Chains A and B, each alone.
Chain A
């Protein structure tokens, strides 16, 4: 089930909210767990067993680590859980590459990727590792652990919440009018970001991909719309997740912090998909030695982390290249660029970063090497293509307002408008109702509504 659907907003959510607030406090986690399992079961009826199995593994080995602090109790569950991730997500990609490299003809397994497996795998690993490290107490109530892993707001598209973040909240959290109200606002804003901006820009991206009449202007429209679609989709989903858990009294950390105003790639990754970045930092980069090792090893660590970051986004070469592209850029920044760019005006640095990120998302979205090269070359007019075409001008006019709104929305400008209490007290309730109704109308009209995380 996706958040931006009628089933979720007008059937699942009101029923779950009503039951949750009607039952006694001690039953609320159980309600959340049952709702979460139903939520997952609805979209992935068969794979719910897989998730439950992984939860049991995490629970049992957590208890074992608690009793006997042995490394083997850390290694076994991680091997099982990572093994399952590799099998379900990467096995066919591995076979394809083995077939190409060694000229073999091994049949593909053609296994279907369980939705959200990359997210809950990382959450389970964080739990086991944190228990092993002694950073959190073991969870003795399996229902609480299952609620943490399966919690439906973050189950299929993140953010990746570390166990220690919500450990205490599982037993004791604050339900208040203010929290519910903030949660609603966050959810509706996220819904609007997804349905009204990301999906609409997704239409433009699709029009471009289907077009035979590409001009330089059209390549730029595509590149811009594509990066905005990805941002508004990802961050919209995170907003909805953060808003939903807030309605149930939880506090999740922020996952995006206006990444497109970054003035360096290093800063961009501090602002983009923060929960993924911190996960890789805490569970891969630092255990590998981080930067407290020789320079060569440090560079190796950076490249490993970014290779894995790329792979995490999907089992395909473009994601690996996308990850390494950032890895190399981050090394260049750390070693050379950041020391020298101080004198360059900030706006230039922001624009340069924006451009580099825009190129990265062309790689991210590319279905093939040829397509990626074509779409990058096109930006520079290489290949004798015309500057504009009737088609690109038509779509520029048709999407100009959405593109401008997306640009403004990617900056903290709107947040500042609502900072003025007088303005926000009056405007916000109207705005929220408006966005909810308009988003609903877009969903009902059957407009383009993709789920971008099916490869994660």
Chain B
């Protein structure tokens, strides 16, 4: 029996090693990981320099991991093991609860929030002294879980923001959202669920508005969280709200110098991130012109990616909405592009972005 056991152990070990070795050699390398939305490491250049500097070795290690055969299945095994056998509450900060993927955004980095708030304060003091400035904070999904999960202290974020952004008005939207207002596979909110947020913003900004939208379905959507967790979760559906004002509106992207429509259905088909349907995705500066507007009012939105899906719904009462993403452009450069007059100003940021000190 002992001998049989020894033989079995050798066979299984050698089998796994040889099969994997051969499979990894035979398998064609992938250029990108669709689920993880990133380029995968390729076989490194084998040169005298790369070998003797150790770069070949470190690059090969990355290549070996990135191109490992059935990589996604192994990630699923890891997730299953850590959650079910080790009974961990998260795996690399990710976890699935009730069919929805969450990412721990804990802990709060007070320093980073202060820095983010200071950046906004600088913009406010430089350009917006006489403007009506409003700001709001979008909690991440974990905020809506029970207390068994770690979440950022949003009261503390509000406190820091209030300290820095004086002479502005805070619009609290935390409590009108629920976890169902966010996608299951992504960090963002669903456009079709945030009319209530638009209403609260409008009310606080002194706008009386009742707008009707038609809800359209763009298609299936696996968000950024999907590739970060080794678990199968049902796809989300991207829907978008539209009406004649939005249909006729024209966007201008300062980065690409291109005019486009509010909803970029072509990008939805071609982009790896389907959320790019809203205003064609991340960009430093974009304007939306409302061709049907019966007002001259303008709105400036300092925003992150959450702004892309809510901006079309704020368009109704403005002639022009300008979206500025301070993650991609320096606040000091704004005057070269924007003429500051007496626009309404909304600073709308997610807690996740404020917690990272990535505003320029």
Contacts and interface: CB of A to CB of B under 8 A. Distances in A.
**A and B together in one complex:** yes
- Chief secondary structure at chain B's binding surface: helix
B193 interface: no
11 contacts: A10-B21, A17-B17, A182-B6, A212-B110, A397-B89, A401-B88, A429-B8, A433-B16, A436-B13, A443-B65, A446-B92
B225 to A, nearest CB: 15
Interface in A192-215: 200, 210-213
In order of increasing CB-CB distance, the 8 nearest A-B pairs are A181-B6, A441-B78, A398-B89, A441-B77, A14-B17, A6-B64, A441-B74, A445-B78
Given A11-B21, A432-B13, A433-B16, A212 B107 contact: yes
B74 A444 contact: yes
Interface of B: 1-10, 12-14, 16-18, 20-21, 24, 51-54, 57, 60-61, 64-65, 68, 71, 74-75, 77-79, 81-82, 85-92, 106-107, 110, 147-150, 230
Interface string A229-243: 000000000000000
Interface string A425-456: 10011001100111011111111000000000
Given A45-B51, A46-B52, A425-B5, 5 more contacts: A9-B17, A13-B17, A428-B5, A429-B5, A429-B12
Contacts of B148: 394, 397
B149 A394 contact: yes
B61 A7 contact: yes
Interface of A: 1, 5-7, 9-11, 13-15, 17-18, 42-46, 177-178, 180-182, 184-185, 188, 200, 210-213, 390-391, 394, 397-402, 421, 424-425, 428-429, 432-433, 436-438, 440-447
Nearest to B230: A445
A433 B12 contact: yes
A188 B20 CA distance: 16
Contacts, number: 141
B77 A390 contact: no
Contacts of A17: 14, 17
> Which residue among B2, B86, B91, B150 has the maximum number of chain A CB atoms within 10 Å of its CB?
B86
A425 B4 CA distance: 8
A188 B13 contact: yes
B350 to A, nearest CB: 21
Given A13-B17, A425-B1, A391 B74 contact: no
Contact of A45 (B4, B53, B82, B110): B53
A425 B1 CA distance: 7
A432 B13 CA distance: 8
A398 B90 contact: yes
B147 A391 contact: no
A390 B150 contact: yes
A1 B57 contact: yes
